[in-house]
Amino acid sequence: MDTLDARALRCPLPLLRVKLWLKAAKAGQALRLWLADSGSRRDIPAYVSGIGHRVEVVADEPGRLELIITKAP
């Protein structure tokens, strides 16, 4: 599983990094993602699930959202 700690990044950088990962990843590959930025916390799960990939929320705490994104076939 790949990991991306984007807690220090502000929107739109986390989304751009996720898009690059999705482009390079193979179907079934997973990414553990940590976010802190409020815009990214809202936008990334909506974007990723909206284009058909799986998003699992592992932890949702003040200042930290942890997701596992699995690329769809």
Catalytic residues: 11
Angle (deg, nearest 10), helices 38-50 and 13-24: 30
Contacts of 30 (CB under 8 A, 6+ apart): 1, 2, 68, 69, 70, 71
CB 43 within 8 A of CB 55: no
